């Protein structure tokens, strides 16, 4: 909020149309310009509670962690116990916790081989599950109502209206919480999806979120030039802050269509991680949180591996990048 300088009156001079237009372009330029001061902090996302006692992780002094769970985790005894173990370990390590919600166990998206079932859960189902979550873990106060909303692996990919509804449910039942408007991935549909989502917020008279989640794996690992990046496009579209809620350098990635998109490459992984953190620092006027994913490497049969450690739990070269930016972890 801007306050008037002493001695100024409330009389405002008239502005010409040219001056107004010039002012708008100046504001946009400032919004996209790199910041001059830093409030950036970096955390880690990993599903394994052993993260918090792993010596290389502890060396970073990281104080923030993110976990992804089924939206109805609190309604199933086994799932609830699993998340409780993760939260217990995080709290023992004095971590600030972010929880992102995913589809329920057994929902496979997209619909394949004629099988259906990949569709958004109803607002009543979501509300019931979230209220149970709040009752079980009232200390968790940073929520992502749905993970990677514009990805084909999610039932929300064609339903931005459902994303707006889920956000509103969390907003109404988590007073004082930090709630991210959406968790968006840098996919070809990002711009159209985000515009549709903003329309849904306005249509439903839901206050526009001031914090958004973004996954910039494509930008970082394909080394997209800044001027053409999805990040810059998103910063133009949404108000407020953007958190890089899931990002990092890929060691290996094989998509569901079995074509090898990223073959194992330690050099590329290290370079991409450096790009992620340099980009976040450059735009730290808008980006003040980064959550890297993930810590422990995966077996060869797993199609995704962005682990900082290899399968023997030895640091990969990418760990050197994290040490270089260690001051941002606490």
Mean pLDDT, residues 262-269 taken together: 94
Q: Specify the higher pLDDT residue, 115 or 294.
A: 294
User: What's the confidence (pLDDT) of residue 115?
Assistant: 67
List all residues 6 or more positions away from 251 whose beta carbon is below 8 Å from its beta carbon.
262, 264, 265, 266, 269, 297, 305, 306, 307, 316, 318
User: What's the confidence (pLDDT) of residue 256?
Assistant: 66
pTM greater than 0.75: yes
Q: In the predicted model, is pLDDT for residue 307 greater than 70?
A: yes
CA distances in angstroms from 211 to 8, 59, 148, 167, 179, listed in the order given:
33, 29, 15, 12, 7
User: What's the confidence (pLDDT) of residue 18?
Assistant: 42
User: What's the confidence (pLDDT) of residue 14?
Assistant: 36
Q: Specify the higher pLDDT residue, 211 or 302.
A: 211
Among the ranges given (34-38, 73-77, 204-208, 239-243), the one the predictor scored with the smallest mean pLDDT: 34-38
> Within a domain: residue 323?
yes
Among the ranges given (40-49, 97-106, 112-121, 241-250), the one the predictor scored with the smallest mean pLDDT: 112-121
> Within a domain: residue 5?
no
> Within a domain: residue 77?
yes
Q: In the predicted model, is pLDDT for residue 315 greater than 70?
A: yes
Domain CATH code at residue 286: 3.20.20.80
Q: In the predicted model, is pLDDT for residue 19 greater than 90?
A: no
What's the pLDDT tens digit per position in 77-101? 999 999 999 999 999 999 999 999 9
Structure confidence at residue 108 as a pLDDT band (50, 70, 90): confident
Q: How far apart are CA 271 and CA 71, in angstroms?
A: 34
> Within a domain: residue 11?
no
Structure confidence at residue 258 as a pLDDT band (50, 70, 90): low
Q: In the predicted model, is pLDDT for residue 227 greater than 70?
A: yes
> Within a domain: residue 186?
yes
Structural domain boundaries enclosing 304: 37-329
What's the pLDDT tens digit per position in 133-182? 999 999 999 999 999 999 999 999 999 999 999 999 999 999 999 999 99
SS3 readout for the chain: CCCCCCCCCCCCCCCCHHHHHHHHHHHHHHHHCCCCCCCCEEEEECCCHHHHHCHHHHHHCCCEEEEEEECCHHHCHHHHHHHHHHHHHHHHCCCEEEEEEECCCCCCCCCCCCCCCCCCCCHHHHHHHHHHHHHHCCCCCEEECCCCCCCCCCCCCCCHHHHHHHHHHHHHHCCCCEECCCEEECCCCHHHHHHHHHHHHHHCCCCCCCEEEEECHHHHHCCCCHHHCHHHHHHHHCCCEEEEEEECCCCEECCCCCCCCECCCHHHHHHHHHHHHHHHHHCCCCCCEEEEECCECCCCCCCEECCCECCCCCECCHHHHHHHCHHHHC
Residue-averaged pLDDT of the chain: 88
User: What's the confidence (pLDDT) of residue 242?
Assistant: 98
Structure confidence at residue 114 as a pLDDT band (50, 70, 90): low
> Within a domain: residue 250?
yes
Mean pLDDT, residues 286-291 taken together: 97
Total of domains in the chain = 1
Mean pLDDT, residues 264-285 taken together: 97
């Amino acid at each position: 909020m801007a306050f008037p300088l002493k001695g100024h009156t409330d009389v405002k001079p008239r502005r010409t149309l040219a001056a107004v237009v010039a002012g708008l372009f100046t504001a946009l330029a400032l919004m996209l310009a790199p910041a001059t001061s830093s409030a950036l902090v970096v955390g880690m996302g990993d599903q394994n509670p052993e993260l918090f006692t792993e010596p290389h992780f502890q060396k970073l002094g990281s104080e923030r962690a993110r976990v992804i769970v089924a939206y109805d985790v609190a309604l199933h005894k086994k799932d609830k116990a699993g998340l409780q173990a993760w939260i217990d370990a995080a709290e023992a390590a004095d971590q600030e916790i972010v929880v992102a919600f995913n589809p329920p166990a057994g929902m496979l998206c997209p619909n394949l081989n004629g099988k259906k079932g990949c569709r958004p859960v109803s607002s009543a189902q979501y509300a019931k599950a979230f209220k149970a979550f709040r009752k079980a873990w009232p200390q968790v106060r940073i929520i992502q109502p749905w993970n990677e909303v514009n990805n084909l692996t999610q039932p929300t990919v064609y339903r931005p209206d459902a994303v707006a509804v889920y956000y509103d449910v969390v907003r109404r039942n988590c007073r004082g919480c930090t709630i991210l408007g959406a968790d968006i991935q840098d996919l070809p549909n990002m711009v159209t999806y985000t515009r549709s989502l903003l329309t849904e917020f306005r249509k439903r008279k839901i206050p526009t979120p001031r914090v958004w989640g973004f996954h910039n794996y494509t930008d970082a690992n394909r080394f997209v030039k800044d001027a053409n990046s999805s990040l810059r496009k998103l910063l133009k579209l949404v108000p407020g802050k953007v958190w890089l809620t899931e990002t990092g350098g890929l060691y290996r990635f094989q998509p569901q269509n079995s074509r090898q998109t990223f073959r194992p490459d330690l050099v590329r992984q290290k370079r991409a991680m450096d790009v992620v953190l340099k980009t976040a620092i450059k735009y730290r006027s808008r980006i003040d949180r980064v959550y890297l994913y993930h810590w422990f490497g995966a077996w060869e049969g797993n199609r995704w591996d962005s682990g900082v450690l290899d399968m023997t739990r030895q640091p990969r070269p990418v760990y050197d990048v994290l040490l270089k930016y260690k001051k941002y972890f606490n």
